[in-house]
Structure 1
């Protein structure tokens, strides 16, 4: 059997192809969220909050993610952040696909099956993150909040992101969201996974004529 060789995407400015990658990545992201929910071994910080809010309100998980996304977008206004196509799609596509996936995915009882589902969900989340970020059509609401706060406060992205996620995780846990081994594994693995997949999924747009790179 011939090994499959991963190569960086070719240079392109095709908006249809980038939009397809964006929507596909977001759909996979919603699916990966549902896989982690069904594993019941711990969620990422934002999904701990989403699950906690679902427990405290009559809203479904997908609708809660959408409402949270809209609230976060409102926080962009004083931060002077500008949404893109990807920002709006992030709110809508993930909200729909996570509910569809939750309706289709059974909740396994056996611990090995739950661990496998959790692990697969985290890996898929890394692929999905690289796909929608790599489409370069605008940050998600939560990503924009992080970069906006960092720009306005002068703090590092790492510090701002840590502060946001600790706050969100604490609030979600107090509301009844699931915190566990999956939460820790996600925190440790999602950065390296996304970074590993991004070179193969990031859209490479043509550089303008006369740029330094173009002359090399």
Structure 2
């Protein structure tokens, strides 16, 4: 059952180590494919207008209490999360850098070219598709093993420390972040709840599908 998956699968195109500056073409391709899907999902969630992701809610909540923009706070949060990698012994790679670049570009593409559904039910459907897309993209790029983004690296590190299923660890992280953001004044929508409770199982499903498909 994919909800019980604990380890990142290793397939023929997985890198042997995260810090690999000369990966195989297939490894680099799947890294980029996963990040494109991840960014597409993040962008779809934004244009669905059903509610932002928990980490965006956290940035919004902090911004209401300090004199900094949401963008700057988002960067500072990412840096702070990277520092949390140290006791978890997580290692960065080219995927850590490409994570920010590709996902950011895909979010901009979504905002520019994909319209927000007028019907609220369709907005919720789009938000659900967004969460599943993020999960699939996350599964693909994590299996590439070329370095995770700040949040995913934190998830993997905590999983190794606790030995809990990945779905459980990610859900705990997202729900905690959402709760703090809401307490600080951030606006939580149905899409936020869908993401917080659904991203853990979605990432686990993505990892399971990639592992089954390429093994």
Q: Structures share a fold, TM > 0.5?
A: yes
Q: Is the 8 A contact 1:21 1:135 kept in 2?
A: yes
Question: What are the Cα deviations for residues 105-149 of structure 1, in whole angstroms up to 9, with x where unaligned?
Answer: 333332122122212212212221122122222232223224445
CA distance in 2, matches of 1:103, 1:52: 26
Tell me by how many angstroms 1:20 deviates. 1.5
Specify which of 36, 39, 44 is matched with residue 35 of structure 1: 44
Specify which of 91, 94, 97 is matched with residue 100 of structure 2: 91
Change (3 A) 1:177 1:189: same
Question: What are the Cα deviations for residues 7-63 of structure 1, in whole angstroms up to 9, with x where unaligned?
Answer: xx9834671111111112112211211211222223442232245467774455xx7
Aligned to 2:80: 71
Aligned length: 193
Specify which of 49, 57, 60 is matched with residue 58 of structure 2: 49
Task: Select the structure of larger CA radius of gyration.
Answer: 1
Q: Is the 8 A contact 2:170 2:200 kept in 1?
A: no
CA distance in 1, matches of 2:203, 2:171: 17
Deviates most, 51-60 or 18-27: 51-60
Q: Is the 8 A contact 1:39 1:108 kept in 2?
A: yes
Specify which of 112, 115, 118 is matched with residue 106 of structure 1: 115
CA distance in 2, matches of 1:64, 1:100: 22
CA distance in 1, matches of 2:174, 2:120: 27
Displaced runs of 4 or more, over 6 A: none
Aligned to 2:176: 167
5+ long unaligned stretches in structure 2: 1-9, 15-22
CA distance in 2, matches of 1:109, 1:81: 43
Aligned to 1:11: 12
Aligned to 1:126: 135
5+ long unaligned stretches in structure 1: 1-8, 206-216
Change (3 A) 1:156 1:178: farther
Aligned to 1:180: 189
CA distance in 2, matches of 1:148, 1:11: 23
Aligned to 1:26: 35
1:11 alignment partner, SS class:
coil
Superposed CA RMSD: 3.4
